[in-house]
Amino acid sequence: MEAMEMQCVKEVVGKIRSLRNTYNNELLKVKKSNTTGMATNDLYISKIPWLCRLDFLKNIDSYTRENTENMAVDALEKVSTQHFSNDEFDLFGQTIAQQLRQLPLEIALKTEEMILSTVRKQRIKLAKQQTSTQ
């Protein structure tokens, strides 16, 4: 929503539907021009430059698309109702993520595990302290 400067989940879902409909309409035009027996130079070729980026939609049947869309709407609605604070911890996480992306995958995964291990150890230490004081 933020990247596309949209205000709500319904706008995102509407945009997804619009893109999918445009894609399917363009495919239908190509198919019709191929089946009418037109000469090669009369075949329909889409002028939409980004159309090929949606080719993954060819392999999605309507049942899968409807269920996936419903799940996506639910997930987007849940995320959109959450409020993110962008405090120092969020910024720290984003900084670490950027740095991990610059490392080779194996090293990034090992580094991620070290960071998580350190945080886990501190949480366990705090939990033990709280248990002993009670």
Give the C-alpha separation, 84 to 2, whole Å.
Answer: 12
Instruction: Indicate left, alpha or beta for 110 from its phi (over 0: left) and psi (-120 to 50: alpha).
Output: alpha
Q: Is the pLDDT of residue 66 over 80?
A: no
Among residues 14, 25, 31, the alpha carbon closest in space to that of 48 is found at: 25
- What is the Cα–Cα distance from 22 to 20, expressed in whole angstroms? 5
Query: Would the pLDDT of 60 be above 80?
Result: no
**pTM value?**
0.46
Model pLDDT for residues 1-37, shown as the tens digit of each residue: 788 888 888 888 888 889 888 988 988 888 888 776 6
The answer, yes or no, to whether residue 109 has pLDDT greater than 80, is yes
Cα separation, 23 vs 65, in Å, equals: 14
Q: DSSP character for 86?
A: -
Average pLDDT, rounded, for the chain? 81
